[in-house]
Every structure is written in C-alpha cells, then in structure tokens.
Amino acid sequence: MRISVQEEPFDLGVEAEEFAKGADEVGAVVTFTGVVRDSDAGGMQVMEIEHYPGMTEKALTQIAQEAVQRWSLGDVLVIHRHGRLRPGDRIMMVATAARHRKAAFEAAEYLMDYLKSRAPFWKKEISADTADWVAAKDEDEDALSRW
Amino acid sequence: MDILYFAWVRERIGVPRERVESGAATVNDLVAELRAREERYEAAFADLSALRVALDQELSDFDAPLEGVREVAFFPPMTGG
C-alpha cells in the first residue's frame, strides 16, 4: 500500500507500471486518474488545492485500509496533489489490485467516493478576475451511503 | 490548544492557526467563545451547518467533548478527488 500527498506531478505510466509489477497473485489491476477541468463558468487559470498536512495522510490511509479489507485487495495506491495546478494537469490517481475485476473496480470507486468528501482537501478556482472555493456537492455526500 | 482553519474559514479569520487558552467543555462551547471575540470569528462561524470540525486530525462533531484534545480544526466540507 502506498499513499502519497505531493505537490509535484506524477508520471501516470511509471506509476501504473510499478503498481502492476509484482501483482502476480492478482488477476486485475484498475487505475483511475483525475484531471483538473475548467470551472463551469470557464476561464479558470489555476486550481489551488489546499490540504491539512497530517490529517490528509491519516484519512487517506484509513480509507485505503478499509478498501483493502473489504475487497481483499492485493495492493492499493493513492496519489493526490496539492498546490497550484492548471486545467489538464493530473490531480490524483488511485490503483487497486485484486483477484477479480469486480472487486478492483468497486474498490477504486469506493476510494474515489471517500476521497471526495472525507479527505481534507479544498479546491479554489482562480480566473483572471475571480477566485472561488469549490462547494461540496450533496451528491458526493450521498454517494457514501451506497457503501 | 492549537486551532487550525482551512479554506474560506482561514480567509475569514485571517490566520491559518493560533494557540488558544480555553476551558471550553465541547466544540460548541469553544465556537461560542470564539464568536464572542471579534466580528471575523462571528463571520466565519455564522452558519455551523457549512462547517466541519476535526479533533486531533479525526473528523468529529460540534457536540464532542474537548477534554485531552490538543488540536482543533475548522473547515468547510471537503472537496478532494
């Protein structure tokens, strides 16, 4: 299991390759990558991501451990960036390894649902003349109830 | 204890963290003490339903006791992913 909260970019290919290596006990590897998208209003130049050092790592570890237990994962990877990002930048990724694909997909969805509303990150969308904090969506909170 | 603020809570209060001497029994009591201090706290804590609280880096509730707690953090609902 690896959890990384980092400012610097990550190489999707390298991370996926490293993760899939040594997964000889598992039959399925799923990766999900989140990309910074423009604000709904358009014109976003920078997405600033703030986090709570210490709690972030703890929360991500707890979420990942829960996923490992629930779906008997062989391995799990969570990378989440903070700092100033631009549209198109890769913001985060998760990878799960399991014996069967259903477990790997479900665990990845579980990680994403919990990461959205239980990991202490906050996003600010900055354009030429506005700077707005992204509000949490009710549907993100509701998504947790299915687990 | 140390009190930390994040995102727009930090912006409204004007500092990311501060040390506060308080005898508050619960988070709600602490919030009441802070609100009585200055307008900027009143502005930040006006609507508690828009806020979350963590005690020693674990998500908690406003009616939770503060005994033994070293770090309290206030922030808006999280937007990770």
More confident residue, B25 or A41: B25
φ, ψ of residue A95 in degrees (nearest 5): -140, 140
Nearest residue of A to residue B9, measured between CA atoms: A133
The set of residues, in sequence order, having a beta carbon less than 8 Å from that of A71 and lying 6+ positions away, is: A96, A98, A103, A104, A106, A107, A110
User: Does residue A140 lie within any of the structural domains?
Assistant: no
User: Does residue B28 lie within any of the structural domains?
Assistant: yes
User: Does residue A20 lie within any of the structural domains?
Assistant: yes
DSSP for B3-61 reads EEE-HHHHHHHS-SEEE-----SBHHHHHHHHHTT-HHHHHHTS-GGG-EEEETTEEE-
The whole-angstrom distance between B61's CA and the closest CA on chain A is 14
- Percent of chain A exceeding pLDDT 90 equals 88
In the block, tokens 């406003």 appear at: B62
Total domains in the fold of chain A: 1
pLDDT reading at A23 higher than 90? no
Rounded distance, CA A26 to CA A76, Å? Answer: 12
More confident residue, A145 or B30: B30
Residues in chain B with pLDDT < 70? none
The ipTM, to two decimals, is 0.95
User: Does residue A50 lie within any of the structural domains?
Assistant: yes
Quick one: pLDDT at residue A26? 87
User: Does residue A90 lie within any of the structural domains?
Assistant: yes
User: Does residue B80 lie within any of the structural domains?
Assistant: no
pLDDT reading at A92 higher than 90? yes
Nearest residue of B to residue A131, measured between CA atoms: B8
User: Does residue A54 lie within any of the structural domains?
Assistant: yes
pLDDT reading at A39 higher than 80? yes
User: Does residue A26 lie within any of the structural domains?
Assistant: yes
Rounded distance, CA A124 to CA A101, Å? Answer: 35
User: Does residue A78 lie within any of the structural domains?
Assistant: yes
10 Å Cβ neighbour count for B49? 6
Quick one: pLDDT at residue A141? 87
Q: Which residues face A133 on adjacent strands?
A: A124
Structural domain of residue B70, as residue ranges? 2-75
Quick one: pLDDT at residue B57? 98
Quick one: pLDDT at residue A138? 87
Mutate to test the interface with A, among B59, B69, B78 (most CBs of A within 10 A): B78
Quick one: pLDDT at residue A25? 79
- Domain CATH for B63: 3.10.20.30
Mutate to test the interface with B, among A52, A63, A109, A116 (most CBs of B within 10 A): A52
Residues A123, B78: C-beta atoms closer than 8 Å = no
Total domains in the fold of chain B: 1
For the CA atoms of chain A, what is the radius of gyration?
16
- Domain CATH for A107: 3.90.1170.40
pLDDT reading at A24 higher than 80? no
Q: What is the mean pLDDT of residues A58-69?
A: 98
pLDDT reading at A22 higher than 80? no
Structural domain of residue A45, as residue ranges? 2-133
